[in-house]
Amino acid sequence: TAICAPTGKAAALIDGMTLHSFLSLPVNQCKHKLVKLDSDISNRIGVKLKDLQLLIIDEISMVGFTMFQHVDARLQQIMKSKKPFGGVSVIVLGDFNQLRPVGDKYIFQFNNSYNALVDNPLWSLFELFELTEIMRQKDDKTFAIALSNILAHALMVCSCLSSLLFNDSSTNSSRCIATVDQDGYPTYHLANVIDDHLMNITHVLRGHEWQTSTSKHLLLYKAFNWSAPIYGHLPLLERERGRKLSKRDPENVINPIEIDYYRQKGYFPNAILNFITLCGGG
């Protein structure tokens, strides 16, 4: 039995090998046709794997269609058999809701529309066994339910005080996104999402300090079934000693957040526009 995974870290966690190392697969397998191994190398690997009967592949969601085909082709060459995977039994483990393949399609998809007219011959050989019992959060049932609901795109948006739930009133967890503050008013996260939606905002450029809030805002958009804007996070313009600029500075102070400040400093209008445009990615 051999245990493999598509990445080094995933392989290390299961005390296994990467598929690339185990089957001598090229790293750039998504862009080039798989080249057969030299007969000497193939025979040498074949001797090592002559008793191989079972191959277990973990984190299968990261294994793409092309790589999966190459695993099949390489095993056929090494085992000198035209049977699928060279006659070796294969068990794949993973969750397709997690990380997807990089630069490739899922293993159950095809690379072009013509092949999509028929079932994937390799993937159709597998039988699905779905594991429904949650083990990692088995001691925290509330959190486990919350994770399952998020996985099913049924986000729970609740108030930390009144347990006002957007979706499921049976779950009250501090890990839900609070929508109402202690004073009864909506939190910034909820108000920001609703305001931007009502104003039909399509692009949001803001300081990088708000980057950690973006995931919450995207989840709120998903909960409301609204189209989310495109977000961009930029470095902050700061005062002396790293102090933040603020629109709440006293009126008698020339505020660097105002256009007049830059006019008085002698900046050309086109230079300001060019700077803002480049900050937003063009």
> How many residues in total does the chain contain?
282
First to last CA, the chain: 53
Q: From 195, 197, 228, 200, select the one nearest 214 (Cα to Cα).
A: 228
Note whether residue 34 is domain-resident: yes
Top-confidence residue, 193 or 273: 193
Quick one: pLDDT at residue 201? 94
**Rg of the chain's alpha carbons, rounded to an integer?**
27
Quick one: pLDDT at residue 63? 92
Contact 8, 18 (CB under 8 A): yes
Distance CA 59, CA 5 (A): 6
Contact 63, 57 (CB under 8 A): yes
The enclosing domain of 199 has a CATH number of: 3.40.50.620
Tokens 């990615």 sit on residue: 281
Say if residue 149 is in the same domain as residue 255: no
Quick one: pLDDT at residue 58? 94
Q: Is 174 exposed, middle or buried (0-12, 13-18, 19+ CB in 10 A)?
A: exposed
- Quick one: pLDDT band at residue 37, thresholds 50, 70, 90? confident
Say if residue 36 is in the same domain as residue 146: no
Please state, rounded to an integer, the average pLDDT across all residues of the chain: 78
Residue 102 belongs to domain spanning: 2-125
Task: Look at the chain and report how many structural domains it folds into.
Answer: 3
Note whether residue 171 is domain-resident: no
CA distance readout (Å), 185 to 142, 160, 194, 198, 239: 26, 12, 14, 18, 32
Query: Stretch 24-53: mean pLDDT, rounded?
Result: 82
Whether residue 193 is predicted with pLDDT greater than 80 in this model: the reply is: yes
Say if residue 197 is in the same domain as residue 269: no
Distance CA 79, CA 89 (A): 12
Classify strands 54-57 and 89-92 as parallel, antiparallel or unpaired.
Answer: parallel
Tens-digit pLDDT profile for residues 88-136: 999 999 988 788 888 788 888 765 544 444 456 788 889 989 887 777 7
Say if residue 60 is in the same domain as residue 26: yes
Contact 190, 220 (CB under 8 A): yes
Note whether residue 131 is domain-resident: no
End residue of a domain, out of 125, 153, 188 = 125
Distance CA 71, CA 90 (A): 11
Burial call 75-88: b when 16+ CB within 10 Å, e when fewer: bbbbbeeeeebbeb
